[in-house]
Amino acid sequence: MVMNSKHGEALRTTSAAASGSTDPKVHLSEHLANERTYLAYLRTSISLISFGVTINRFSLYLIQSNKMPPHTAERWNLADLGRLGLGMVIAGIILLVWACLHYTHISNQIERGNFRPNTIMAWIITLAVLVGGGASLIWLFTQ
């Protein structure tokens, strides 16, 4: 185990990696973990895109069919729901591109043996979800 004095983060190095071995099995578990993480991001982005399209299309259907009761139509702005669906599709696409870039970056770091966890990105994602969730709550309860 090697300690990085600047951040105090521990790096795990294997003896084969430290000796410069090119054996592909050396980093197999790290690459498989990286791939599982990518696939989780992929599933999430597909879900965002699918649900965004569903919300967008369903709001257009409700607008065009006039099937909502009048008191409900006054409360909900269906054009905003359509924009919400579009926003979810855009967020899903952005997540997919970021996941691919992140996967490639981590894979290269694993191969070079200089992987460092990025705690700032975890905080950015956490704050983005918190802001999005808070905005959703405000939007829901002010309608």
Within 10 angstroms of residue 9's Cβ, the number of other Cβ atoms is 13
Instruction: State residue 65's pLDDT score.
Output: 78
Max CA distance (Å), the chain: 73
Residue 133's identity, in one-letter code, is: G
Within 10 angstroms of residue 57's Cβ, the number of other Cβ atoms is 12
Sequence-separated (6 or more) residues with CB below 8 Å from residue 80: 139
H helices then E strands: how many in the chain? 5, 2
Instruction: Summarize pLDDT for 32-85 with one digit per residue, the tens.
Output: 999 999 999 999 999 999 999 998 888 878 777 777 666 665 566 666 778 888
Instruction: Summarize pLDDT for 101-141 with one digit per residue, the tens.
Output: 999 999 999 989 898 888 998 899 899 889 988 988 887 77
Instruction: State residue 24's pLDDT score.
Output: 61
Can you tell me the distance from the alpha carbon of 33 to that of 22, in angstroms, rounded to the nearest whole number? 19
Instruction: State residue 96's pLDDT score.
Output: 95
8 Å CB contact between 84 and 55: yes
Beta strands in 17-141 (DSSP E): none
Instruction: State residue 63's pLDDT score.
Output: 72
Within 10 angstroms of residue 141's Cβ, the number of other Cβ atoms is 7
Percent of the chain predicted with pLDDT > 70 = 73
Q: What residues does each domain of the chain span? A: 24-118
Within 10 angstroms of residue 109's Cβ, the number of other Cβ atoms is 16
